[in-house]
Amino acid sequence: MSMLKHVLALFAFIVVSLASVCADEGYIPFFPDFMEPDGIVFRGPASIIGVSCWTSHSDCASHKPGMPFSAGTSVVRSSPITIEYRKNYFFEKLFYLQSLFDYGSVIGNSDISSDTEKEGNRTHYTASILFSDPIMGKYITAEEKQILSSLDSTRIVDLKTELNYILFGYGVGLDLWLLELSFAPFLMYHQTKASLRSCIYQRYSDQLKSVTDVSRCKFNPDEIVDVSNQKYSGFAFGTMITNSFVFLQTDNLRISMELSAKTIHFIYDSSFKEVQYKGLKYRPIVVTYSGLDCGGNTYVTYDENGENRKPYTDDCINVNGEDMSRSADYTYGLQITYYFR
């Protein structure tokens, strides 16, 4: 990811430096004219919510009993600066076509589990359940078995996912003055790392008022044992739906609130094979929006007898050490776009 960040930083520097000198097509040497941005976006503290879905079914929202899955949630900050393309209007400026660009990173984890025949019940995978699972068990190596077997048998198996991406798309939109809606297919380049881990099974109850990245492993972070990992890189195809609420729009300036949901339909490795880990297919979903929204979540941990209850405070500090609380959002969810050509 460090290399990807340096490339994007260099690209942003070239755009800002050259745009002020020559705001015409071809201002970036040896770069396709249709990919040259028209503006730069300052979005301040903005959020990326990612669902790292690994499933033996079609997705993590619908799965049959006994089929393993892991759906880790990521809540991180996006880059405060990105690039923008102008809209090409048609049909009395009601519809438009627009190029789209985005990049970011998500990191999340969740234990591997499966639903039971009884509605609402779920089996959380321990090492022994993982070894005997008809889908995942055959992919567990001898070294992984040795590490997991040496640990307490009540510990659960967790899957951590790190996804870095950069995407480019082209879509169609509807302009309703204050409200804009758009749909765009996109091509994505990704770097993904899946890590198999073991942690203590923590029972807890919660009252959620915002999206959270809290998982069972987060309650005892010092007890996490890394077992193995696998890295992937390649291309992905998906679709993005964007909702925009526009407060101000001039020839060179735009102030708005943005929300976009990216669904990745096909994701491949460097050999153009579908990304799979231990028999589970990768089905990530990424949502980005201007602003921060964490706050008001409460948790209570307890033992197997329902006793020894202890409150756990969600301080809205994510795995990257970033403050995702509403009070840290100094732009109040607004982003500013400056069009330099």
CA distance 239 to 187: 9
Question: Which two three-digit tokens encode residue 248?
Answer: 């101000």
> Using an 8 Å Cβ cutoff, are 161 and 193 in contact?
yes
Using DSSP's 3-state secondary structure scheme, residue 330 falls into coil
The mean pLDDT value for 38-50 works out to 91
Predicted confidence (pLDDT) at residue 5 exceeds the cutoff of 60: no
Between 123-137, 142-156, 314-328, the lowest mean confidence (pLDDT) is in 314-328
Q: Which residue has the higher pLDDT, 17 or 164?
A: 164
pLDDT tens, 191-239?
999 999 999 999 998 888 888 888 888 889 999 999 999 999 999 999 9
Using DSSP's 3-state secondary structure scheme, residue 11 falls into helix
pLDDT tens, 97-141?
999 999 999 998 999 999 887 776 889 999 999 999 999 999 999
Q: How confident is the model at residue 26 (pLDDT cuts 50, 70, 90)?
A: low
pLDDT of residue 61: 75
Question: Which two three-digit tokens encode residue 163?
Answer: 């996804």
Q: Indicate the pTM of the whole model.
A: 0.86
How far, in Å, are 59, 131, 274 from residue 56 at the CA level? 8, 16, 13
Q: How confident is the model at residue 167 (pLDDT cuts 50, 70, 90)?
A: very high
Among residues 123, 128, 301, 144, the alpha carbon closest in space to that of 225 is found at: 144
Q: How confident is the model at residue 21 (pLDDT cuts 50, 70, 90)?
A: very low
CA distance 50 to 179: 25
CA distance 130 to 210: 32
Burial 150-175 (b: 16+ CB within 10 A, else e): ebeeebbbbbbbbbbbbbbbebebeb
